[in-house]
Chains A and B, each alone.
Chain A
Amino acid sequence: SQELEQSPQSLIVQEGKNLTINCTSSKTLYGLYWYKQKYGEGLIFLMMLQKGGEEKSHEKITAKLDEKKQQSSLHITASQPSHAGIYLCGADIKDKGGTSYGKLTFGQGTILTVHP
């Protein structure tokens, strides 16, 4: 099993609907990054969460980090076709006291389709 699991793996919604993507870790999270990828393009940085309970928003996208649950959620309000793409969570997963060296472990991605 993977260290970071995203759910759902794919999501199809109608424009205007709200949606949530989850990212769950099998180990303690020390920082969580959300990226968006469009076909043929690189990963676009969305948000970084570093503390338990932290919540950040950018336009219609909100991300939260629940350290106790070892989970992060990404919520999109009133989705638009421009939100379509692959959402990836990446995290610093290491044993307590270990050194990171910037190694990001990624989830398998969630493919979001938004129908107009």
Chain B
Amino acid sequence: DTAVSQTPKYLVTQMGNDKSIKCEQNLGHDTMYWYKQDSKKFLKIMFSYNNKELIINETVPNRFSPKSPDKAHLNLHINSLELGDSAVYFCASSQWVGLAKNIQYFGAGTRLSVL
């Protein structure tokens, strides 16, 4: 069983559309994250939730809205997609908040292409 799973793996869509990416972890972790990796492979955090509560919200356009229905799931909804949103989006989870001996486990990524 995959520990952190994201769907879909690939997403090709037109500019202006609304799309969602789903993430689920079966590790029993309390904290989940969304990262964005751009075309230069630069990975940057977008959001983090701990036990369904938002704790990290980086400077991200408000077209991006994360939702955590329970602590095993963290979804990312993107409104009015733009060309610049094309990237690989990674979901991750960790046992708790903070970085003290707290490894983040990553999903395989969702490759989003906006045409």
Contact = CB atoms under 8 A, between A and B. Distances in A.
Contacts of B94: 102
Interface string A21-58: 00000000011010101001111110010100000000
B34 interface: no
Interface stretch (A11-19, A60-68, A69-77, A104-112): A104-112
Interface string B1-25: 0001000000000000000000000
A42 B94 CA distance: 15
Interface residues of B, number: 28
Contact of B56 (A30, A88, A101): A101
B4 A42 contact: yes
A37 B42 CA distance: 12
B109 interface: yes
B104 A102 contact: yes
A33 B104 contact: yes
A104 B98 CA distance: 9
Nearest to B6: A42
A100 B99 contact: yes
A42 B88 CA distance: 10
A74 to B, nearest CB: 16
A42 B48 contact: no
A24 B28 CA distance: 33
A37 B104 CA distance: 14
B42 A108 contact: yes
B106 A104 contact: no
Interface of A: 30-31, 33, 35, 37, 40-45, 48, 50, 86, 88, 90, 92, 99-106, 108-109, 111
Interface of B: 4, 31, 33, 40-45, 48, 55-56, 90, 92, 94, 97-109
24 contacts: A30-B99, A40-B109, A42-B90, A42-B106, A42-B108, A42-B109, A43-B92, A50-B101, A88-B43, A90-B43, A100-B99, A100-B100, A101-B55, A101-B56, A101-B98, A102-B31, A102-B55, A102-B98, A102-B99, A103-B48, A104-B99, A105-B45, A109-B41, A109-B43
